[in-house]
Amino acid sequence: MKQHHRHTGPTLGKKPKESGLLASLLLWRRAFCLWWKADPRLFTSTAALLLFQTLSPYVTIYFTARLLNEITGACRREVLFSLTGYVLLSTAVLALGSALFTRRRNTLYAACWQKKDQFVIQKLLQMDFEALEQPHTHELIAKIEQGQNFGGWGILRSANQFQDLAGSLVQILGAIILCITLFTRKIPAGHSLSLLNHPLFLLVLATGLVGMTILSPRLINRADSFWSSFYKTSTQGNRIYMFHFRTGMEQDRAMDMRIYRQDLLARNYLGYAACDFAPGSYADRYWHRKGGAYYALSAVVSRLFTGFVYMYVCMKAWAGAFGIGDLARYVSAITALSAGVSSLLYCLGSIRNNAPFLQTEFSFLDIPDRMYQGSICVEKRTDRKYDVEFRDVSFRYPGSKTYALRHVSLRFQIGERLAVVGENGSGKTTMIKLLCRLYDPTEGEILLNGINIRKYDYREYQQVFSVVFQDFRLPAYGLGANVAGSTHYNAAKARRCLEDAGLSPWLAGLPDGLDTCIGREFDENGIAFSGGELQKIAIARALYKDAPFLILDEPTAALDPVAEAQIYASFNTLVQDKTAVYISHRLSSCRFCDRIAVFDRGTLVQCGSHQELVSQTDGKYYALWQAQAQYYQT
């Protein structure tokens, strides 16, 4: 990105590309099905609410009209009493039902905020690891978030649209039933306004009314379509904004931010982001001119409509077609009919405007999972006799032209301690990632007990490994929950694992023990542990999982020499009967391993015990050993 790039947004007045109504409705239906699957009560409670809400005004209109007719007509006392009773009773029952279901529906919809994120999180958790690294995936996530921040566009809005859609349909139906007699009741022949009885007049009137009813919501939808077009062009600016105010403000970036004045660096980029909504920006100009004008026009059209309805109904009543009570009923019913049609059209327009947002969400949810998903169960062996073999494995990262691993063949013997050494970038971590099946080999195969690991059930297969990754992250929850990976855990076991990882005196000194939070994000009594302590907690977490394979990727990089020596001294106790794979830069710490695999530029160049390797003076291991020994000697 150029630093002084000026973002102007789409050209004013340019018509955004719209999705067809049918395509938009199909997208909406898909979103509706997702919500239905997540919680059908959302819709059953809404349907019940609609019944009460929509019936309410009509019941009132009906009884009020009869009451007015009675007052201006026969004015019978007992009829007036019973009609008043009906009005009060029906209003009370409907208001009660409406209030109850509003509460129920609102509670269920409040949970939608969380559920809509669950759709994204579920996909993120199950998608191919490879897809997680693609910039396109992150672009889509940023767009989804942006759509939600623009005003709840996307999947969340589609849940609300059900109420609007069903509500307007019920409203229209009720109004039609109430006002059908307006058109069938005739003005007595000979009256100067009997022209109003002519079918042609009715046709002209109906056309005019329908026209205005359609026009008003269309104008609002036209104004709102701004969001779907603006959405496509403002993602970059929004991502920078989010980065600066969210990710950039995370605690572990705070020091770099201050020391290197990254706020100043961000300012250039922020200028790029801020002008999306700043005074004079595209958005600002749009809402002051075209968007504002659409809204104003829509309001004028809808008032004109109400005016016409009053005029027509009053003229018919004045000419003697019906009494004063029916006048009130027809005016209310037609106004309700118009509101129903308007809201139906507005809703259809809104479904159409929401289509690009849904398309983005579905493109994300539809990111294909290409990794072969096997179904074989991993044999649960009490003797932990798991045998892993890399058979001529080569691997290139997606999109990369160079091989990170080439023709690696290696077999782990059961219960063995294997060290993997090599310079930076020689492929050690890549080998671990392939072993844990975060990626599949480009060529060759990896076997567990003689069967290609692709054939095992993915989740089950990953349960065979405990890994301490180089860049592990511990969430800011309690220590015990972190170690166990659950809020319900065996406290004695968690404590033992922390002690085995070298944290015994330290653990005893913690005021809240296993409940101590890691960091202060959630608890002011939380402790900001040092890098070395965190690494030990991560090791304890791997031990708690108690998987047959324990993989430690530079497990002692953040430890001081004393702590490191302690870990190695207790390594055999830590590992017990597990097969341990251990990656390290410090060759001195690999001597306790049974076998050492030496990697160089993606290939496995040597494999043997420390004594064997150090005696091969022309080998890579010897060179690495010498380089480190020299460093310690000087």
Strand order in the sheet with 549-553: 465-468, 549-553, 579-583, 417-422, 595-600, 603-608
The residue assigned the tokens 């992250």 is 473
Hey, what amino acid is at 272? Y
Q: Which stretch binds ligand ADP (CB under 6 A): 25-33, 83-91, 370-378, 425-433?
A: 425-433
User: Does 400 help bind ligand ADP (rule: CB under 6 A)?
Assistant: yes
Segment interacting with ligand ADP (CB under 6 A) among 217-225, 420-428, 614-622, 624-632: 420-428
614 membership: H or E segment, kind and range: helix 610-615
**Least distance to ligand ADP, CB of residue 38, Å:** 33
Site string for ligand ADP, 46-85 (x = CB under 6 A): ----------------------------------------
Per CB under 6 A, does 422 bind ligand ADP?
yes
Closest approach, Cβ 393 to ligand ADP, in A, equals 13
Reduced to 3 states, what is the DSSP secondary structure of residue 579?
A: strand
| Angstrom distance (rounded) from CA 563 to CA 392 | 38
CB of 423 to ligand ADP, least distance (A): 7
Taken in order 287, 292, 295, 298, the sign of the CA dihedral is negative
The size of the chain, in residues, is 634
Question: Which residue, 428 or 595, is less far from ligand ADP as judged by CB?
Answer: 428
Looking only at residues 529 through 588 of this chain, which bind ligand ADP when binding is defined by CB under 6 A? none
The DSSP call for residue 384 is -
Minimum distance, C-beta of residue 338 to ligand ADP, in the bound complex (Å): 59
Stretch of 249-257, 321-329, 423-431, 479-487 lying at the interface with ligand ADP (CB under 6 A): 423-431
Q: How far is the first Cα of the chain from the last one, in angstroms, to the nearest whole number?
A: 46
Q: In angstroms, give the least distance from the CB of 418 to ligand ADP.
A: 15
Q: Strand ranges (DSSP E) for 339-464?
A: 388-395, 405-412, 417-422, 443-448, 451-452
Kindly state the tokens that stand for 355: 């289509």
CB of 583 to ligand ADP, least distance (A): 7
What is the secondary structure of 159-227 as a DSSP string?
Answer: HHHHHHHHHHHHHHHHHHHHHHHHHHSPPPTTSTTGGGGSHHHHHHHHHHHHHHHHHHHHHHHHHHHHH
Residues 129-168 that bind ligand ADP (CB under 6 A): 133
Tokens of 442: 């480009």
DSSP codes joined into one string, 457-523: -HHHHHTTEEEE-TT----SSBHHHHHHTSSS--HHHHHHHHIIIIIHHHHHT-TTGGG-BBSSSS-
Which one among 137, 158, 332, 429 touches ligand ADP, defined by CB under 6 A? 429
Residues with Cβ within 8 Å of 580's Cβ and at least 6 positions away in sequence, in order, are 416, 417, 418, 549, 550, 551, 552, 571, 593
Does 356 engage in binding with ligand ADP (CB under 6 A)?
no
Build a one-symbol-per-residue string for 441-460: x at contacts with ligand ADP by CB under 6 A, - elsewhere.
--------------------
620 binds ligand ADP (CB under 6 A): no
By the 10 Å C-beta count (0-12 exposed, 13-18 middle, 19+ buried), 505 is classed as exposed
* Farthest CA pair distance, the chain: 123
Q: With respect to ligand ADP, which residue has the nearer C-beta, 481 or 593? A: 593
The residue (of 6 and 401) whose beta carbon lies closer to ligand ADP is 401
Is 427 a residue that touches ligand ADP (CB under 6 A)? Answer: yes
3-state secondary structure of 573: helix
Q: Which is nearer to ligand ADP, 18 or 133 (CB)?
A: 133
Please answer whether residues 603 and 394 qualify as being in contact, where contact means their C-beta atoms are separated by less than 8 angstroms: no
| Binder among 24, 228, 360, 426 for ligand ADP (CB under 6 A) | 426
Choose, by CB under 6 A, the member of 219, 404, 410, 503 that binds ligand ADP. 404
In this structure, what token pair is assigned to residue 562?
């004393």
Angle at 171 between CA 165 and CA 176, to 5 degrees: 130
Our finding on whether 480 is near ligand ADP (CB under 6 A) is: no
| Of 20 and 425, CB closest to ligand ADP | 425
Nearer to ligand ADP, 517 or 613 (CB): 613
Give min distance, CB of 397 to ligand ADP, in A. 3
Between 147 and 427, whose beta carbon lies closer to ligand ADP? Answer: 427
Query: Could you say which of 73, 425, 475, 485 contacts ligand ADP (CB under 6 A)?
Result: 425
Restricted to residues 97-136, the positions that interact with ligand ADP (CB under 6 A) are 133
CB of 422 to ligand ADP, least distance (A): 5
Cβ partners under 8 Å of residue 432, min gap 6: 420, 467, 551, 553, 581, 583
Q: Report if residue 397 touches ligand ADP, rule: CB under 6 A.
A: yes
| Closer of 24 and 429 to ligand ADP (Cβ) | 429
* Six-digit token string for 300: 């004028």
> Which residue in 184, 382, 424, 487 binds ligand ADP (CB under 6 A)?
424
Shortest distance in whole angstroms from residue 497 CB to ligand ADP: 26
Q: Which structure tokens are listed for 108?
A: 């269920």
Provide the minimum distance between the beta carbon of 610 and ligand ADP in the complex, in angstroms, as a whole number.
19
List residues bridging with 346 in a β-sheet: none
Count interface residues toward ligand ADP (CB under 6 A). 12
What's the min distance (Å) between Cβ of 401 and ligand ADP?
10
State which residue, 431 or 479, has the beta carbon closest to ligand ADP.
431
**CA–CA dist 172, 199 (Å, integer):** 22
Q: CA angle, corner 306, sides to 300 and 310, nearest 5?
A: 145
Segment interacting with ligand ADP, rule: CB under 6 A, options 78-86, 186-194, 417-425, 461-469: 417-425
**How near is the Cβ of 500 to ligand ADP at its closest, in Å?**
26
Q: Among residues 356 and 422, whose Cβ is nearest to ligand ADP? A: 422
Residues 205-224 touching ligand ADP, rule: CB under 6 A, are none
CB atoms within 10 A of CB 257: 15
Min dist CB 454 to ligand ADP, Å, is 20
Binding piece for ligand ADP, criterion CB under 6 A, among 365-373, 419-427, 502-510, 559-567? 419-427
Beta carbon of residue 623, minimum distance to ligand ADP (angstroms, whole number):
16
Give contact residues for ligand ADP (rule: CB under 6 A). 133, 397, 400, 404, 422, 424-430
